[in-house]
Homo-oligomer: A and B are copies of this chain.
Amino acid sequence: MSNKVYLVDDEPDLRRAIERLLRAEGFKVESHGSALEFLARLPAEADGCVVMDLAMPGLDGLEAQERLVAASTRWPVVFLTGRGDIRSSVRAMKAGAVDFLTKPVKAEELIASVGLGLARVREVADLRARYAQLTPREREVMEHVIAGRLNKVIAAELGTTEQTIKVHRSRVMEKLGIRSVAALVTAAQRLGVSPAGGEAD
């Protein structure tokens, strides 16, 4: 799984060329002619790497990236553009882009970047699947646990008892396949889950 590339470019000729290149490398490719079209058909969970142009009619590549970031979806994005400038590349990298390549692109560079993006997705794929199994309450408790709060404090804040928190907490650990708070904290960071109400000291 997870060898899928979402190609977003408004030029049909270039799409075809890149598609061919990526398919020859064994990637599955899904092409979109505009960022809006891509975002509209966006899978709920990141299951591949995005390869996107910068300048496109409708929604800009950087704007599309911002939306992905804002939705905390953690899609890996590789930019591939012909009229890029330093300012754009810096903005893209700040926003967490995997790479920022210029046309004409060397095949090996594109493949390497896509591979890196896919590797990032795979790293958290299993964890995401596990996290999806958590109930809303369990996620809530998790956010408090990774903030370093004691069970009884969490209980007070959520208006329940310590016993209840213990149950939720143990289910969180069980479902995520994790056995220590330390591992839970790092898992949460990989998932983009933030501690509730700031960190405790």
Contact = CB atoms under 8 A, between A and B. Distances in A.
Interface stretch (A32-40, A131-139, A141-149, A155-163): A141-149
Query: DSSP class of A's interface residues: helix, strand, loop or mixed?
Result: mixed
Nearest to A188: B182
B182 A145 contact: yes
A85 interface: yes
A86 interface: yes
Nearest to A148: B180
A177 B148 contact: no
Given A148-B183, A180-B201, A181-B182, 10 more contacts: A86-B89, A87-B102, A90-B93, A93-B94, A148-B179, A179-B200, A182-B184, A182-B185, A185-B186, A186-B199
